[in-house]
Structure 1
Amino acid sequence: MNNKKFFYNMGFNHIKKASFKTKLISSFLIISILPILSIEIFSYYYSTNKIENKISRLMDFSLTQSAKSINTTLSSYEDLDMQIASDDELTKLIDKYDVGSNTDINTQVALNDIKGKLTVYAYSKLGIVNIDIRTNKNHKIASYNRINGHAIPDIWKKYDDIIEKNDYEDETSRYGTIWSGMSYTQPLVEETYNLINVYSNIIDFTSDRIIGVLCISINEDVLQKTYNLNSDDLHANNINVYSLIIDNEGTIVSYEDRNYIGKNIYYLANKKDRNSEDLNNTIINSHIVKGNSLIVNTKSLKISNWYIVNIIDENKLFSEVNLSIRIIIIVIVIVILFFIFFIVLVSNRLTSSIRKIVAAMKKAQKGELSVRIEEDITDEFSIIALTFNKMISHINELVEKLRIQMNLTSEAVKLQKEAEIRAIEAQINPHFLYNTLDCINWMAIEKEEYEISKMLKSLGQILRYSINQSNKIVSFSQEIQWLKQYLYLQESRFDNSFKTEIKFEEEVLEFKIHKLMLQPLIENSIIHGFEGYTSGGVLEVSIEIKEADIVIFIKDNGKGMDSEKVKYINSLVSEAKIINKGEHIGIENVISRLRIYYGDYYKFNIESEIGRGTSICIRIPKIK
């Protein structure tokens, strides 16, 4: 909240400090340009939103039509597959071929009859490249290939991989049909065919048993023609749409760029986990369509459990809109430049009187009190010019009176300084005080008052340390040594009604602290915390290093403070307010010094309860 207020004030102050001419130009620009920009921005977002909605409807319609066409096409091949698989005559031939020896004449006759029937079926529908039958018992193969008459390799390897991947125990445990895609390169000519395979069981309905598996291989071009026809509406609207079909494993089955057929989009997108919910992002990351901003829509195909995908390059989609926006922006810039030229011309005429007044004021600010504004100004600013000239004349009179008054008080100031010097000379020289204490110390030694001697020595050391540069930075070693002397005197003063303990890490001694930082806090603990105590008081001072800071704890088991006082003292830190009056002057002084010395890089916290003592924690940065 404070940061927001700060930036708000900075911006407001910047506006207040701007010249009148700048404010006038800014006001004209805001009034004239802001409505134009608002209308343009609204029009842009409104038109793009309309286009996006239209494209969305077209995409959805196209996908729905494509899915219907593909389902119809695949369904027709699936019907043919079921017709072949349920052919009774073919079933009997397969039985004969499966049980007989390859050299047996009956087996060869059955094989030729099977191929004859497959030939008829292969030419019954466009797009069929190959029909294969594998017997269930001995896995014998009978096939017809329209390309070169040879069986296509890897068709049954593809089938076995699917069976194993879906964890079927055997062929008899599978029902329905299986769809898959594959690529086939014709030997010798090295021409590649992209195929769609549909597998189904061949059933002998008389014995209700599966005697083999049928595979019909369809040219992928059949699917291309099916779903690309449904993109004409989109192309008619100047929309470049890319369509493809992928299976439920993410493998591309059909696409206009044949180089991508057979590749997996998860592999292309460098994704190990296959998540159908993240399919659109995976397709974008696979880069099968180049573009920085792509729109992807998918729809599942009921027949094969595959997906039809449409991809649109959004940048190309909005290219015409963006071109229109650029033209409008250029026109707006030209209009704005014209407005600026016109506004500057008008503002110069309006502010010429102001510039004369400001120039005269700047000269007066530099001390040229003889300056006057020409009184040829005929507009409302003539009142300001007249008032300024009168003010300068009055200032000249006041300056002359002040000069006379200063001459009269000069002698009085000299006399006052002489009196201050004499007062300073009359002050007690600290060296005189040290020497006197030293003399008293020797007198105590002569009378064998060694405890008094020890106290006098401690007092002398305390005075020297305290008087000499009280805001100086000293090592923790010096400060701790002084604290020991100070605490010794306080213990003696209060008849040992409390005990003190100073704990510190050795590493602390090499760092520095401002002199006498802790003394006010310790004195508060002794005077206020142990007030009325005759024994049992414990005061503990511990110094630790934590990360980049030094943490100081001052704890006592004294009388403690109520929650209101604790809340007030902590508020001095949190609210950054220092009120040097009251009964906590020492603590307020310490917080003030902490803020002066360390800025925001310190922490101060006090905790206390009535009858349970007080704990103070100070955190300051390490200084070497």
Structure 2
Amino acid sequence: MKSHMERFLGKKSSIQRKVVVVYLLIAVLPLIIITLSASAIYYRSFLKEAYGLVEQNARQHETVVQERMSAYENVLYELITKKDYIELSRNINTGDENSLLVDAAHMEALLRSCVYTYDGIRSITFLADSGRYVTYSKWYGSMNEYIWSEPEQRRDIHDEIEKSQKLTFIATVNLSNSTRKDDYVILMGYPVKNLRTKEQSGVLVMALEDDVLLFDDNRVKQAGKMDNSGVTTVIVDNNDKVLAGGGPANVNEGYQNYLKEEFGGRKGISENRRKIGGTEWTIVNIIDAAVYQSEIYHFIKIVFILMITITCLFFVILYFISKKYIGAIQKIAQNIHDFKGTDADQIITDLNEEDELYVIVRQFNTMTARVNSLVETLRQRNEEIKIAAISQKHAEIKALEAQINPHFLYNILDSINWRAIEHDEEEISNMLGTLGSLLRYSVSNIDMKVVLGAEISWLEKYIFLQRDRFQNSFDCQYDITDEAMQFPIYKMLLQPIIENIILHAFEDVKEGGMIHVKAFVRLDGKLEISIRDNGCGMTEETLAEIQKEISEKGALNSKSIGISNCLHRLRIYYQDEADIVVNSKPGKGTEFILIIPDKQEGRIYG
């Protein structure tokens, strides 16, 4: 026995034994664990999906019943609001015997037209307060065959509907007066009154087939027996009595008794209940988990059979393959171990070139040659990169040397300003002076912090030039507290938003544009700046896109370059401590709200 095992599995320290053990540990054992875990997960997800489908079916079921009840209510309301019907009901209730037959015939014609409106309507009956009645039924030709021929039963139904003085459902009633066969229906009733005087003449009762409470497929079966889906649906009332879905024999039977009769003491039975809105009825889905378990167990059984078959097949294949190739593999391993990679260019073996294992040797030799080639190529590439870096450095130095000194621009502007003063061009002089101040402020270190007052002072000059550019079509108002004026912020933080408003919000504005800048220090110590305009505003799509990109901290598109500039700098300077909020309505304007933390480190310029 031991010799046979060694022949199949190999000796204790052999590669063949190691391959078998490694396969068991790496392939078979994880496969068993994965199979068991996957089966458990599949079972839970299968049940979850099944219960989800049951709940979805119950919601659809509720909607269907509500729609059907609404349709029947419309038929009822349409009839009791007809002037002819109201007059006929009053005549039948209080009229003399001579005209009773004529009025009853006219009312029966009206009832007949309504009965055939929907298939689910079995009959319609008018019960007068005086005890008279008129009825029309699809099924019953003789008055004596169903309950309307019994004065006491008519009175009980009349009084129940009259007492509620609203739409009333009575479920479930045996419409048949015969002992041979039951005929259960749902009664829907409403008082009949004169719309002007509110005088009541009786009640109108519509008899509906009890299967209107079920889906169409259940209406066809009507037996209530569980199908292959493992789900049975019944309808119960507020007293937990079965109204529909359990078959005629179970109508008006207690729900718990129905469960005992149909399912006995079977385990794994659960239920899902859903109230039907507008009624006192409940949809009950009875779920038999054993149906699902049998399918899961069948699936697991198939998986295990496949796994065992594949494992056995592998061992057989492994035995025949290893017998032929293990020796050759050991030779190759020894040759690779002896290969130093310096003196020899390839592995020397005595393998036949037609042998499959010779491919390993050939590929290793090819790889060695490629490695040597790649090393040489890499060395040449490094030399090229060094040369390119030196050239790039020289180009940058030349570009720096070619830059214009900003002081040259300041001096030229001062020269032009003095010439304007000499020619009494005060307006041009003011604009040049303002422009020079703007350039000195903006060209200097943009990462420098200043107090808000300095930023507002620069902003006033910027708006002064822009107002002159756009023929004073807009103005700007400031509402800034003294505490806020001393709050430190980074330079040029507000300018992109102001420029965005001028170029986009006031694009078609000729006059009356207004920008409101408000700033104050909040209780939490942060500065809140509000910049609001009365321009054209943003479309809902544009606003939603900007708000989404702000919340997701992504890059904004080129259409919002001003906002993108401001947002990008806020994230660089303050990370997640700062925030920006955008509110806008088309035709009403836009508001930008910046929340900036107090960072006192570093030098702050006033």
- TM-score w.r.t. the length of structure 1 is 0.40
- TM-score w.r.t. the length of structure 2 is 0.41
The structure having more radius of gyration, on CA atoms, is 1
